[in-house]
Structure 1
Amino acid sequence: MLRHAAPALLAYSGVRALGLLVLAGWAAAADRDAYRLLSARWDSLWYARIAEDGYGHTARAANGDLHPDLAFFPLLPALERGLSAVTPLDAAGAGVAVSALASLCAAAALFAIGDRLYGRGAGITLAALWAAVPVGIVQSMAYSESLFTALAAWALYALLTGRWMWAGTLAALAGLTRPVGAAVVAAVWIAAADLLRRERRLPAPAAAGVLLAPLGWLGYVGWVGARTGSPAGYLDVQAQWGNGFDGGAAFAAFVWDRLTGAPAVGMALLAGLGLVVRLGVECVRQRQPPPLLAYAGTVVVLALCARGYFGSKPRLLLPAFPLLLPLAAALARSRPAVAASALAVTALGSAVYGAFWLHGSGPP
């Protein structure tokens, strides 16, 4: 399996190495520390604090809003704490190491899914494309996106191969990693419903996977509820951060504000939204399996239909890798020179954008 996946892992690593090299050069020119940009910015600081001190910290924003650390799910800081306990790394460095390992695991899972559905070339290209998305630098930061995507992708692969207990277990772990773990639960349940429709019965392993899948997400949300003394405690925490599901009203207002105040930015946002919709349509036309469609659709809906800091929307879409499958399959069918050129240009653009992004004030 590892030998079969080696080209995908090499392609993925090459794209990410280019991003890190550009970041290092940019940081040197700006007299900044590239490692610190990866390990100690924005959410990375919150994860490291939880790893070192546990939960219980609340920050007060400049406008007086309170930001409790309970908004952050526990698996990444738990791994940071464990790794820093057995290595010389501090919590922040452990977060970078976890993301590096998890991103390779995610790339391997993406290859396995693409290979199974559309051939080895599509699997290799999918791994490379995921590395080269504009916000790909997040995969190398002490953030939870790489860990979540690895767990989610392997859960989806387990569903495609009928490994229900693995799927349920990985879904539960994904639910301990990010709020969007609900998307992996949805994938497991949709797969089970499809199996029940086809076979008129649900085998015991599938039923066990269905029951296991939501335990991580429900466990953390329930713990926050108990800690805050309210069944809706996690929703209250999200509201304190300015987050919450509103069906996309706040995001639509944000786009409209840009269209009327900064038309070029607004048009760019509309183009990005159009691309996401187009890729979603192509996923359906590609006849992707129901679990992948359910997972990608849920990730997109949760990312675009929630309030919050709108600059982070592309990062929230990072785990929605099935959207890249139509592009991966098309590039795999094209001439090698065309595919290589497209990937090279995309990778370079991602590297430059990632370095620019980390040297600015946002988006996180």
Structure 2
Amino acid sequence: MTLGVERMAEHAALHGLELILLADDPSMYIDVGNTKVIQFPTKDRNALENYISENIRQIANIFSSTDSWGVAAAELREKFGFPSRISSEKLIRLRDKRWVQSQLEPEGTEHATMYPRIVKPRSGTGSMDIHLVHDSEEHRRVLEEHGSSETYVSQPYHRGPVYSAELWSNGTTSIFFGVTNRIMTAPPLFLEKVKTFPHEHGTPWEAKVEAWAKDLLAKLDYDLGLAHIEFIETAAGFELVELNARMAGAMITPAIDASTNFDPYALAVADALNNTPHVPVKREILGGHSHVSLYAEKTGTLMCVEGIETFAAYPGQPAWFAAKKSGSIITDLTSYRARIGNVVATAQTPALAQDRALAAALAVRIHIA
């Protein structure tokens, strides 16, 4: 979600507006182009409120396409009276994995606590602080060390391939962009190594995913715009991992933009301005898009990344999108924070794009001291 800033700035300009990005660390953002970026203490609510008060006559609206900052933006909109259908109350509720789980289960459903299980924060994000526990003693120990049964949620450990369904809904219209597949690291780490879009498009399997995902949004009365629904296909069917009321992360949103006739950045800006967007009636697939995420294998200082200069020899126009710059300190090997960058490739089909991204990624060498 550090990508797409320039695309959103382009759409803001079509409305006669300028996109201004407030960022605690502007270096995180890859494609700001000519966008005005202000280094700002975004975790300081008083500073944010003062900034808005001082500039309120020039501000059309406030938004964030992420989950945690989406809540902060909604609260600021409400405090200062900016119009939006996207409320902070609903965003907070949708971030609560236990609440979502309770809404999707039939009334009176009882579960036997079977192991292994996944224990994770109720409002977590970014595959952080996820624990695979194998018995009640390990379960208890994780909660004692990391939180409590009130701040964490316990879910069955579903077995099967992992996917995400990418959608947008304003409560009356729902758009299905497609499915992203995921090749994961082995448990107990849950890092996403390869993601390809639009996976199995046009197949009966994809049609089942679309029906399942839209039914899920309907049950939750979802009207918050972009939706990123992670799920697992088990022997018994689809099982929800989590629903994220935000733009899809990593390179998924650029993949939707490049591979279909839908523009998620235009939808994000329309939602930000409380407008009803124009959307195509029918989806068109324009190609396949895949990216391989490369992670640090040890802690330390990122010295350099080599091998990118060989990409011209590979098919699929592979490109490197850095998530870390030289000199970055690597302290965490268990979440997205260990990601050094992504190798992206395209093709006529998703499967070919994945082959090309995997091949080019083998040329990359990461040096950490």
TM-score (norm 1): 0.27
Structure with the bigger percentage of strand: 2
Greater RCO, 1 or 2 (C-alpha within 8 Å, sep 6+): 1
Greater helix share, structure number: 1
